[in-house]
Amino acid sequence: MFPKNPVSRRAMLGRSAVGFGSLALASMLADETRANTPNVAPLAPKLPHFAARAKRVIFLFMCGGPSQVDTFDPKPLLTRDDGKPFPHAKPRVQFAATNNLLKSPWEFKQHGESGLWVSDLFPHVAKQVDNLCMINSMHGTNPAHGGAMMKLHTGSDNFVRPSIGSWLSYGLGTDNSNLPGYLTICPTLGHGGVTNWGSAFLPAVYQGTPLGNASVPSDKAKVSYINNSNLSRDIQRMQLDRLYAMNRQHQAQAGQEASLEARINSFELAFRMQTEMPQLEDLSNESQATLSLYGMDNPTTANFGRMCLMARRFSEAGVRFVQVTHSDSNVQWDQHSNLKEGHEKNAREVDQPIAALLYDLKARGLLEDTLVWWGSEFGRTPVAEGKNGRDHNPEGFTMWLAGGGVKAGFRYGSTDEYGYYATEDKVHIHDLHATILHLMGIDHERLTYPYAGRNFRLTDVEGNVVDKIIA
Amino acid sequence: MMIGLLLWTLLASGEPAPSELPQPMAAGAVEKAAEEPKPTAEQLQFFENRVRPILVEHCQKCHGEKKSQASLRLDSREGVMRGGDQGPVIIAGKPAESELIRAVRYEDADLKMPPEAKLKDEQIADLTKWVEMGAPFPATAKSNPRTRDPNHWSFQPPANVAVPTVKDAAWARSPIDNFILSKLEANGQVPTAQADKRTLLRRATFDLTGLPPTPQEVADFLADEQPNAFARVVERLLASPAYGERWGRHWLDVARYADSNGLDENVAFGTAWRYRDYVVEAFNKDKPYDQFLAEQLAGDLLKATDDNQRHEQLIATGFLALGPKVLAEVDEAKMHMDIVDEQIDTFGRAVLGLTLGCARCHDHKFDPIQAADYYGFAGIFKSTRAMENYKKLARWYENRLESPAALAAEAGQAALVASKKQAVDALVAKADETAKQTLPADSKPPEKLESLYPDETKMELKRLRDELAKVQATAPEFPTAIGVTEAEVADEAIRLRGNPLKLGDVVPRHVPPVVKGPETPQFTAKESGRRELVAWLTDPRHPLTSRVMVNRVWRWHFGKGLVRTTDNFGLLGEAPSHPELLDWLARRFVADDWSLKSLHRLIMNSSVYQQGSQATPGLVAQDPENRWFGRADVRRMEAEVIRDTMLAVAGALDRTMGGTILAVKNRGYLFDHTSKDLTDYNSNRRSLYLPVIRNNRYDVFQLLDAPDATIPSGDRTTTTVASQALLMLNSDLVMKAAAGLAERLLSGSQTDAERMQQLYAIAYGRNASPEEVEANLAFLAGLEKSLTMREPDAAARQRQAWSVLSHVVLAANEFVYVK
* A261-294: burial string, b at 16+ Cβ within 10 Å, e else: bbbbbbbebbbebbeebeebbeeeeeeeebbebb
Q: Which of residues 232-271 of A touch B (CB under 8 A)?
A: 232, 234-236, 238-239, 242-243, 245-247, 249-251, 253-257, 259-260, 262-264, 266-267, 269-271
Domain final residue, candidates A47, A65, A85? A47
Other CB atoms within a 10 A radius of the CB of residue B469 amount to 11
| Cross-chain Cβ contact B725/A42 below 8 Å | no
d(CA A92, CA A100): 17
A30 close to B (CB below 8 A): no
Reply yes or no on whether the pLDDT at B21 is more than 70.
no
Strands A132-139 and A410-412 come out as parallel
Same domain membership, residue A55 and residue A29? no
pLDDT at site B16? 37
3-state secondary structure A300-312: HHHHHHHHHHHHH
Whole-angstrom CA distances from B421 to B85, B454, B455, B469 are 63, 21, 21, 10
For residue A393, what are the domain limits? 48-223+284-469
pLDDT at site B37? 62
* B702-711: burial string, b at 16+ Cβ within 10 Å, e else: bbbbbbbbbb
pLDDT band at residue B672 using 50, 70 and 90 as cut-offs:
low
Question: Alpha helices of B749-793 — where are they, by DSSP H?
Answer: 752-764, 770-788
Same domain membership, residue A348 and residue A259? no
Say if residues B684 and A336 touch (Cβ distance below 8 Å): no
Q: Which of residues 572-591 of B touch A (CB under 8 A)?
A: 572-573
- In this predicted model, which residue has the larger pLDDT, B618 or B500? B618
Q: Which of residues 59-118 of A touch B (CB under 8 A)?
A: 93-95
Reply yes or no on whether the pLDDT at B38 is more than 90.
no
DSSP for A14-66, please give it. HHHS-SS--HHHHHHHHHHHHHH-TTTSTTS----SS--S-SEEEEEEETT--
Read off the amino acid at residue A123: P
Same domain membership, residue A106 and residue A28? no
Q: Which class for B220: exposed (0-12), middle (13-18), buried (19 or more C-beta within 10 A)?
A: middle
Mark residue B660 as left, alpha or beta (left: phi above 0; alpha: psi -120 to 50; beta: remaining). Answer: beta
Distance of CA B774 to the CA centre of its chain: 48
Same domain membership, residue A247 and residue A128? no
Reply yes or no on whether the pLDDT at B22 is more than 90.
no
Say if residues B242 and B306 touch (Cβ distance below 8 Å): no
Reply yes or no on whether the pLDDT at B646 is more than 70.
yes
d(CA B313, CA B307): 10
3-class SS shares of chain B: helix, strand, coil, % to 5: 50, 5, 45
d(CA B205, CA B21): 48
Q: Which among B570, B634, B695 has CB closest to A255?
A: B634
Whole-angstrom CA distances from A388 to A382, A424, A426, B82 are 11, 28, 28, 55
| Cross-chain Cβ contact A189/B633 below 8 Å | no
pLDDT at site A133? 98
| Cross-chain Cβ contact A329/B624 below 8 Å | no
B718 close to A (CB below 8 A): yes
Same domain membership, residue A352 and residue A292? yes
| Cross-chain Cβ contact A461/B69 below 8 Å | yes
Other CB atoms within a 10 A radius of the CB of residue B618 amount to 11
Reply yes or no on whether the pLDDT at B14 is more than 80.
no
Nearest in space to B819 (alpha carbons), one of B558, B579, B619: B558
Reply yes or no on whether the pLDDT at B741 is more than 50.
yes
Distance of CA B799 to the CA centre of its chain: 44
Length of chain A: 471
Nearest in space to A420 (alpha carbons), one of A77, A105, A185: A77
The region of weakest confidence among B23-37, B393-407, B525-539, B616-630 is: B23-37
pLDDT band at residue B568 using 50, 70 and 90 as cut-offs:
very high
Say if residues B174 and B605 touch (Cβ distance below 8 Å): yes
Reply yes or no on whether the pLDDT at B423 is more than 70.
yes
Reply yes or no on whether the pLDDT at B18 is more than 50.
no
Q: Is the peptide bond before B581 cis (omega within 30 degrees of 0)?
A: no
Reply yes or no on whether the pLDDT at B717 is more than 70.
yes
Reply yes or no on whether the pLDDT at B35 is more than 80.
no
Please, which residues have CB within 8 angstroms of residue B253's CB and are 6 or more apart in sequence? B707, B712, B713, B714, B716
A307 close to B (CB below 8 A): no
Same domain membership, residue A52 and residue A33? no
| Cross-chain Cβ contact B677/A192 below 8 Å | no
| Cross-chain Cβ contact A144/B330 below 8 Å | yes
Contacts of B676 in chain A (CB under 8 A): 215, 329
| Cross-chain Cβ contact A42/B721 below 8 Å | yes
| Cross-chain Cβ contact B720/A214 below 8 Å | no
Whole-angstrom Cα Rg for chain B: 34
Query: What mean pLDDT comes out for the span B790-805?
Result: 94
Same domain membership, residue A304 and residue A210? yes
Same domain membership, residue A155 and residue A301? yes
B775 close to A (CB below 8 A): yes
Same domain membership, residue A200 and residue A76? yes
Length of chain B: 819
Provide the ipTM: 0.81
Contacts of B615 in chain A (CB under 8 A): 255-256
- Say what percent of chain B tops pLDDT 70: 93
Distance of CA A381 to the CA centre of its chain: 24
Say if residues B817 and A253 touch (Cβ distance below 8 Å): no
Same domain membership, residue A230 and residue A208? no
- In this predicted model, which residue has the larger pLDDT, B72 or B222? B222
Alpha-carbon gap: A394 to the closest alpha carbon of chain B (Å): 13
Q: Which among A190, A226, A247 has CB closest to B675?
A: A190
B333 close to A (CB below 8 A): no
pLDDT at site B12? 40
Q: How many domains does chain A have?
A: 3
Whole-angstrom CA distances from B454 to A282, B32, B329, B423 are 68, 102, 53, 18
Q: Which of residues 673-692 of B touch A (CB under 8 A)?
A: 673-677
A227 close to B (CB below 8 A): yes
The DSSP 8-state label assigned to residue A406 in this structure reads: B
The region of weakest confidence among A170-184, A254-268, B536-550, B589-603 is: A254-268
Same domain membership, residue A31 and residue A124? no
Q: For residue range B434-482, what is the model confidence (pLDDT) as tens digits?
A: 887 777 777 777 777 787 888 888 899 999 999 999 998 888 889 999 9
Averaged confidence pLDDT in chain B:
89
B215 close to A (CB below 8 A): no
d(CA B371, CA B369): 7
Same domain membership, residue A238 and residue A113? no
Other CB atoms within a 10 A radius of the CB of residue B406 amount to 18
B803 close to A (CB below 8 A): no
Whole-angstrom Cα Rg for chain A: 23
Q: Which of residues 601-640 of B touch A (CB under 8 A)?
A: 612-615, 620, 624-625, 627, 631-636
Q: Which among A150, A245, A269 has CB closest to B775?
A: A245
| Cross-chain Cβ contact B675/A255 below 8 Å | no
| Cross-chain Cβ contact B726/A454 below 8 Å | no
Say if residues B813 and B633 touch (Cβ distance below 8 Å): no
Say if residues B427 and B460 touch (Cβ distance below 8 Å): yes
d(CA B127, CA B101): 7
Q: What are phi and psi of B323, to 5 degrees?
A: -70, 160
pLDDT at site B388? 93
Nearest in space to A43 (alpha carbons), one of A368, A196, A266, A370: A266
| Cross-chain Cβ contact A267/B729 below 8 Å | yes
A176 close to B (CB below 8 A): no
Read off the amino acid at residue A143: P
B705 close to A (CB below 8 A): yes
How close are the terminal C-alpha atoms of chain B, in Å? Answer: 61
B568 close to A (CB below 8 A): yes
Alpha-carbon gap: A276 to the closest alpha carbon of chain B (Å): 13
pTM: 0.77
Q: What is the pLDDT along chain A (471 residues), one digit of tens a residue?
A: 333 333 333 333 333 333 333 333 333 334 444 544 444 567 778 888 889 999 999 999 999 999 999 999 999 999 999 999 999 998 887 888 899 999 999 999 999 999 999 999 999 999 999 999 999 999 998 888 888 999 999 999 877 899 999 999 999 988 887 888 899 999 988 788 888 988 888 877 788 888 988 888 898 888 888 888 889 989 999 999 999 999 999 998 887 787 888 788 889 888 888 888 888 988 999 999 999 999 999 999 999 999 999 999 999 999 999 999 999 767 789 999 999 999 999 999 999 999 999 999 999 999 999 999 999 999 999 999 999 999 999 999 999 999 999 999 999 999 999 999 999 999 999 999 999 999 999 999 999 998 766 789 999 989 999 999 999
